[in-house]
């Protein structure tokens, strides 16, 4: 919270600033006159103004009256800090809708009450920061609040490929962050300071955050779930597969059924979907001079031939299938100097190889190096031929911006020993 103090007495101004610095998350600036305060507020953003009534040129009441005439500052929380105990002064402050009226010398406990009233005023007015420009990054904004820096950073790393992440250690800093950029979801952990999980959750909900998720220890889960204060309660984990599985109910995440082989694959490559999107987008940019948009997976029957690659990592097998609409294959092939559709499907093999190598490079936790086969081209209906019935699939679909032509990557994860390793029937020339 950024606060402007306006007081002509340097000693009083310094004393109030010292108290505010004891409140975690407060940033303080000072000025000495009502005109200075108005000038600061016109050019800089503050969350609250604390000012004396006895000021040069313009007294505190006159300054506030002028501030209230500015549409941008009409709802700015103002706290009077003065030695004037008269009824007239208090009533005048009420007429100007001040958030609180403090008498000097200010006590820390009374200051905490005033700041609470400031937050209440902000929430009632619905005052939030101007929305962030999401044109460059449309991922949902997720706020992670936890006193354990290692856990906080790990959780952020798991979610970063899918969300815009803000990491803060305390409830006070969380409110400051939400003031600047309201998150759609907040993950609230433990050891977050005086503004605890329940109070923080209530404040964020009133500010407009839709998902308030408590990240709880096993001992806390039953109690926190029964409290009814949160959108949901999830267990405290640093396992990527478990985290994504639990949070899919609250945050748009890859459509993964995180069990068995797919869970193992995601544990080996936590940023799997992001690797696919980034690598494919690089190809679109390089060959078509066009950005790529991620799309919801559409019908598969309008897509053409598959280029498949088999990847082996220890006991885990992955069949990576790449397919596209015919017109997009032609576009990509044309950029490569090939216009014959019968041979230009080889472009898909190049992309499949690039993707397999990118996934292998991202497999930081794989116990054994990935073994990547050469691409094979098969009919769409044969793409899953020979896979065990319980293999699990991840699909990512993209398209050049402004086009209906689509490009799809499908990964089937399975146990190597369970798979029929016979090569599917090749696409006839």
Structure confidence by residue, pLDDT tens digits, 250-288: 887 764 444 567 777 776 676 777 788 888 878 777 777
Q: What is the mean pLDDT of residues 168-186?
A: 83
Q: Which residues contact 238 (CB under 8 A, 6 or more apart)?
A: 151, 154, 155, 158
CATH number of 2-125: 3.40.50.2300
**In whole angstroms, what is the distance from residue 129 CA to residue 25 CA?**
17
| pLDDT of 427 higher than 50 | no
| pLDDT of 43 higher than 50 | yes
Question: Where is pLDDT greater, at 267 or 99?
Answer: 99
| pLDDT of 117 higher than 50 | yes
SS3 label, residue 120: helix
Worst-scoring range by mean pLDDT, 74-83, 164-173, 365-374? 365-374
Fold match, 2-125 / 141-253: yes
Q: How many residues are present in the chain?
A: 429
CATH number of 266-418: 3.40.1550.10
Burial of residue 147 (number of CB atoms within 10 Å: 0-12, 13-18, 19+): middle
The DSSP H or E segment spanning 414 is: strand 407-415
Per-residue pLDDT tens digits for 338-377: 655 555 667 778 888 888 888 877 775 554 567 888 888 7
The DSSP output letter for 426 is B
Per-residue pLDDT tens digits for 184-225: 999 999 999 878 899 889 888 887 888 999 999 888 888 898
Per-residue pLDDT tens digits for 318-338: 888 888 877 777 777 777 666
**In whole angstroms, what is the distance from residue 192 CA to residue 170 CA?**
4
- Annotated domain spans of the chain: 2-125, 141-253, 266-418
Residues paired with residue 4 on neighbouring β-strands, in sequence order: 29, 49
Q: Which ranges of 101-170 does DSSP label H, i.e. alpha helix? A: 108-125, 149-159
Q: How far is CA 215 from CA 114, 183, 192, 243, in A?
A: 30, 16, 12, 10
The superfamily CATH assigns to domain 141-253 is Response regulator (3.40.50.2300)
Q: What is the pLDDT of residue 221?
A: 87
For 326, the token pair is: 């015919």
**CB–CB of 183/155 below 8 Å?**
no
> How far does the chain reach from its first CA to its final CA, in angstroms?
67
Band of pLDDT at residue 428, cut at 50, 70 and 90: very low
Strands 316-324, 306-313: pairing kind: antiparallel
**In whole angstroms, what is the distance from residue 63 CA to residue 48 CA?**
14
């Amino acid at each position: 919270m950024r606060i402007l103090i306006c007081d002509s007495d340097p000693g009083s101004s310094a004393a109030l600033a010292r108290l505010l610095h004891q409140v975690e998350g407060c940033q303080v600036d000072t000025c000495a006159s009502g005109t200075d305060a108005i000038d600061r507020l016109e050019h800089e953003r503050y969350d609250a103004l604390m000012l004396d009534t006895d000021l040069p040129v313009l007294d505190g009441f006159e300054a506030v009256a002028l501030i209230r005439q500015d549409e941008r500052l009409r709802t700015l929380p103002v706290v009077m800090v003065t030695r004037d105990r008269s009824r007239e002064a208090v009533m005048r402050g009420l007429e100007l809708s001040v958030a609180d009226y403090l008498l000097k010398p200010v006590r820390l406990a009374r200051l905490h009450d005033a700041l609470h009233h400031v937050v209440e005023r902000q929430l009632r007015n619905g005052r939030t920061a101007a929305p962030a420009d999401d044109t460059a990054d449309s991922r949902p904004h997720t706020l992670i609040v936890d006193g354990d820096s290692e856990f906080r950073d790990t959780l952020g790393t798991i979610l970063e490929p899918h969300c815009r992440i803000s990491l803060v250690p305390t409830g006070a800093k969380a409110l400051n962050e939400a003031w600047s950029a309201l998150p759609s979801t907040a993950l609230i952990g433990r050891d977050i300071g005086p503004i605890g999980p329940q109070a923080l959750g209530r404040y964020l909900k009133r500010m407009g955050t839709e998902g308030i998720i408590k990240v709880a220890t096993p001992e806390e889960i039953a109690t926190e779930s029964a409290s009814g204060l949160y959108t949901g309660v999830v267990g405290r984990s640093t396992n990527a597969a478990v985290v994504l599985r639990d949070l899919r109910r609250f945050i748009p995440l890859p459509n993964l059924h995180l069990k068995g082989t797919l869970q193992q694959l995601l544990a080996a490559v936590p940023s799997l979907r992001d690797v696919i999107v980034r690598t494919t987008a690089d190809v679109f940019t390089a060959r078509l001079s066009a950005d790529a948009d991620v799309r919801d997976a559409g019908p598969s029957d309008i897509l053409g031939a598959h280029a498949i690659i088999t990847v082996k990592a220890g006991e885990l097998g992955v069949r990576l299938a790449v397919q596209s609409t015919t017109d997009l294959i032609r576009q990509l092939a044309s950029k490569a100097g090939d216009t014959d559709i019968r041979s230009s499907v080889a472009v898909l093999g190049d992309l499949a190889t690039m993707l397999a190598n990118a996934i292998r490079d991202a497999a930081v936790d794989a116990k054994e190096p990935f073994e990547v086969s050469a691409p094979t081209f098969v009919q769409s209906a044969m793409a899953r031929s020979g896979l065990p019935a319980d293999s699990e699939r991840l699909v990512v679909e993209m398209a050049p911006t402004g086009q209906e032509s689509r490009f799809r990557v499908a990964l089937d994860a399975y146990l190597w020993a369970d798979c029929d390793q016979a090569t599917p029937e090749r696409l006839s020339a």
